[in-house]
Amino acid sequence: MKTMLSLLMKNCHGPGLGLARILNKKCIFYQTTPCLQQVTYFAMDACGKKGAGGGKNTITYKPYTPPQYKPHDKKNMDLNRPMSPHLTIYAPTLPAMTSIAQRITGVVVLTYAIMVAFGSLFLPNGIDSYVSMIQSLNMGTFTIILLKMLLGAPFVYHYFNGIRYCAWNAGKWLALKDVYETAKKSFILTAVFTVLFSLL
């Protein structure tokens, strides 16, 4: 059979076509020629397949077209891939909650800084006059302590929990046990120092 294929390949125009091997009744060729399709059909018939050009094993050749680029989200929508699960699917975990709280308290602390900066620049008579005005309201001790706790807790939590993030950036406390332990400690330190600051 190889001799018959070789004779046919010599009649093809252009560079020769070689039969690399026959594996599991499949003919494997190398080097493309103008009559590759014809020879492939003949070879498949010679290898024991059904008639030339009509069976389920017919090989067709198409010119190469580079794949069209699609953005990641567009590709996922075309393939009907599900969206990644979020808070509505995952149960809340302590590391996730501490991360969310860190971002929220960061926004609160930034708001404090912006208010103080703009207040000192644009409010008449300075911030001291407004502090004196609040003191003149003669609010009860419990109310003052409660307000101090509400205002101070975001700053204290952001400070102590930020130490965790700095340690993570340095490659420390990354074990799951350490993550949970440091989260609990940051909550405890936040509660203790918030009460201490509110009593001053």
Model pTM above 0.85? no
pLDDT at 36 over 70: no
pLDDT per residue over 43-97, tens digit each?
Answer: 444 444 444 445 567 777 888 888 888 898 888 888 888 777 776 777 888 998 9
pLDDT of residue 56: 64
Instruction: Please report, for residues 32, 71, 123, 127, 149, the alpha-carbon distance to residue 115 in angstroms, rounded to integers and kept in the order given.
Output: 75, 41, 10, 10, 18
Query: Could you tell me which of 19, 22, 29 has the C-alpha nearest to residue 48?
Result: 22
pLDDT at residue 53, as a whole number: 47
* Residue 151 to residue 159: CA distance in whole angstroms: 14
Residue-wise pLDDT for 164-197, tens only, equals 999 999 999 999 999 999 999 999 999 999 999 9
- State the pLDDT confidence band at 125, using cuts at 50, 70 and 90: confident
What is the distance between the alpha carbons of residues 191 and 185, in angstroms, rounded to a whole number?
10
Q: Which two tokens stand for residue 130?
A: 């407004």
Q: For residue 51, what pLDDT is reported?
A: 45
Range with the largest mean pLDDT of 67-76, 110-119, 124-133, 156-165: 156-165
Please, what is the average pLDDT of the chain?
Answer: 78
Structure token digits, residue 88: 């509505």
* 17 compared with 60, residue with greater pLDDT: 60
Domain locations in the chain as residue ranges: 2-46, 94-199
**CA–CA distance, 191 with 176 (Å, rounded to integer):** 23
Is pLDDT above 90 for 107? yes
CATH-assigned architecture of domain 94-199: Up-down Bundle (1.20)
